[in-house]
C-alpha cells in the first residue's frame, strides 16, 4: 500500500490536499501518515518510510510557509506536482461555548495570519497562541488540553471529527483563500 506523509494531523487541510493528490494520480489504496512538520515529511521520504509527502508552501494571505522552505533546503526530493486547494478557516469551540466567552485563540501561525482582520475586529484584546497545526489544536481543545474558554481556528471537518461547535464560519480575510501544496517523492537518481 502506498504511504503518503502529510504536514498535519487528522482533519487538517494537508489531509484534504493528500486526498486530492492521490485522486489526481490514480492512487486508490493509500495510508496517510500524519507527521505534523514539513521536516518530518521530507525526512520520511528520504529514508523511504513513505512513498510521497504533501507539504504546504504558500498561502495567498499568509504568505510563504517558512518551515517548508527550510525543510526543502535540508532534504533532497522530487516535486511531483504543485497544486492549490481552497482553505476555509473556521472558529471552533467546546460545545456550548459562546463567542463572547472566548479568552484566547489557538492555531497555526498561517491560520492566524489568514484571519488577521477578523481577529483584530472581534478578538483584539485576546491572546493569539501559535500551535504546530490547526487540526492538532482542535484535537487538543477537544481533549481538554487547552482551556475550555479557548477557541481554535481550523478546518470545518475538525468540528465533527473532534466534537466541537462551529462558532463562526469562513473567518479568513480573503474570499478565495488558496494554499499552494507540493506533492513530493524521493529524489530520482539519473
- List the pLDDT tens digit at each of the 190 positions of the chain: 999 999 999 999 999 999 999 999 999 999 999 998 999 999 999 999 999 999 999 999 889 999 999 999 999 999 999 999 999 999 999 999 999 999 999 999 999 999 999 999 999 999 999 999 999 999 999 999 999 999 999 999 999 999 999 999 999 999 999 999 999 999 876 5
Report the C-alpha gap between 100 and 109 in whole angstroms: 23
Q: Cβ(7)–Cβ(70) under 8 Å?
A: no
Q: Please tell me the total number of residues recorded for the chain in this structure.
A: 190
Per-residue pLDDT at 188: 76
Q: Where are the domains of the chain?
A: 2-86+177-186, 89-168
pTM: 0.92
Domain 2-86+177-186: which topology? D-Maltodextrin-Binding Protein; domain 2 (3.40.190)
Per-residue pLDDT at 187: 84
89-168 CATH, one of 3.40.50.970, 1.10.390.10, 3.40.190.10, 1.10.3720.10: 3.40.190.10
DSSP string, the chain: -EEEEESS-TTSHHHHHHHHHHHHTT--SEEEEE--SHHHHHHHHHTTS-SEEEEEEEETTTEE-HHHHHHHHHS-EEEEEEEEEE--EEEEEETT--GGG--EEEEEHHHHHHTHHHHHHH-TTS-EEEES-HHHHHHHHHTTSS-TTEEEEEETHHHHHHTEEEEES---SSSS-EEEEEEEEEPPP-
Report the C-alpha gap between 106 and 139 in whole angstroms: 11
Per-residue pLDDT at 58: 96
Per-residue pLDDT at 189: 64
Amino acid at each position: 500500500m502506498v504511504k503518503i506523509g502529510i504536514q498535519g494531523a487528522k482533519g487538517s487541510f494537508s489531509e484534504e490536499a493528500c486526498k486530492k493528490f492521490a485522486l489526481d494520480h490514480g492512487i486508490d489504496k493509500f495510508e496517510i501518515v500524519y507527521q505534523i512538520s514539513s521536516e518530518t515529511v521530507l525526512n520520511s521520504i528520504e529514508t523511504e518510510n513513505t512513498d510521497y509527502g504533501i507539504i504546504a508552501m504558500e498561502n495567498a494571505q499568509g504568505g510563504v510557509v517558512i518551515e517548508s522552505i527550510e525543510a526543502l533546503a535540508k532534504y533532497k526530493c522530487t516535486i511531483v506536482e504543485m497544486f492549490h486547494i481552497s482553505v476555509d478557516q473556521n472558529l471552533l469551540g467546546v460545545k456550548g461555548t459562546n463567542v463572547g466567552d472566548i479568552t484566547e485563540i489557538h492555531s497555526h501561525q498561517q491560520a492566524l495570519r489568514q484571519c488577521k482582520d477578523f481577529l483584530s475586529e472581534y478578538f483584539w484584546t485576546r491572546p493569539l497562541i501559535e500551535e504546530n497545526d490547526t487540526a492538532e489544536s482542535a484535537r487538543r481543545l477537544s481533549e481538554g488540553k487547552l482551556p475550555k474558554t479557548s477557541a481554535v481556528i481550523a478546518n470545518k471537518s475538525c468540528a465533527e471529527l473532534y466534537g466541537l461547535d462551529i462558532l463562526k464560519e469562513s473567518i479568513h480575510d480573503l474570499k478565495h483563500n488558496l494554499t499552494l501544496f507540493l506533492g513530493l517523492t524521493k529524489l530520482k537518481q539519473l
